[in-house]
Amino acid sequence: MNKQQVVVIATRNKGKVKEMEELFAKRGFQIHSLDDYEGIPEIEETGSSFYENALIKAHYVADLLQVPVIADDSGLEVEALDGQPGVYSARYAGEEANDADNNAKLLRELSQKLTFPSDKLPVGHPPVWSAADFVCCIVLADPARKQHARFEGRCPGYILGEARGHNGFGYDPYFYLPEYGKTMAELTVEEKNKISHRGKALRQLIELVY
């Protein structure tokens, strides 16, 4: 497979890689993540926004490898928590936190600020703890042209007080989608890519560039 058929993604997150593979495979591209290259250190995300963090990661890896690189930064913005955890979604419970730690902290914080906006949902849907949005910003950095492009996606939903489903990663088991009657973790990868924040941003990128 030649270089033009490879897309480099600046991530080691296997869940993100799986989602991106599903979309790019349809166009005949192979995904390479940071796990496919030696000597690339952890990239410190010092930005104050999803865009800034994606920009940092994309340019760092693109300059290092001298090939175009895609990086995304994404997270959860919860209405009842004034937009938190936001850019700290992956490390909400600390730098060494895992998904279980972050979800546990999310539920602890929300348990003190329950809003139950059930009036916004059709009859028969489960009680929810807060409205929320998944947000994604993707940056494609091209070192040869010294340029980058920006793509964004947003997916509205609600936070449940209990986990449902075993697919996905991160906050997916708690992120409820009324139009599906399911959480993100109850969707297949293909279903998730159709409506998710990352899927929306990636489709913009693919349609424009690939």
**pLDDT of 71-96, one tens digit each?**
999 999 999 999 999 999 999 999 99
**pLDDT tens figures, 93-128:** 999 999 999 999 999 998 887 665 555 555 566 677
Residue 128: its pLDDT value, please?
Answer: 76
Catalytic residue positions? 73
**pLDDT tens figures, 186-207:** 999 999 999 999 999 999 999 9
Neighbours of 30 (CB within 10 A): 12
Distances (CA, A) of 196 to 38, 69, 126, 156: 31, 21, 21, 9
Q: What is the pTM of this model?
A: 0.88
Residue 119: its pLDDT value, please?
Answer: 56
3-state secondary structure 175-190: EEECCCCEEHHHCCHH
CB proximity list for 108: less than 8 A, separation 6 or greater:
none
Whether the predicted pLDDT of 1 surpasses 80: no
CATH number for the region 3-209 comes to 3.90.950.10
Instruction: Give the C-alpha separation, 112 to 129, whole Å.
Output: 10
24: closest CA among 193, 196, 197? 193
176: closest CA among 201, 189, 195, 200? 195
Please provide the size of the chain in residues: 210
Report whether 11 contacts 69 (CB < 8 A). Answer: no
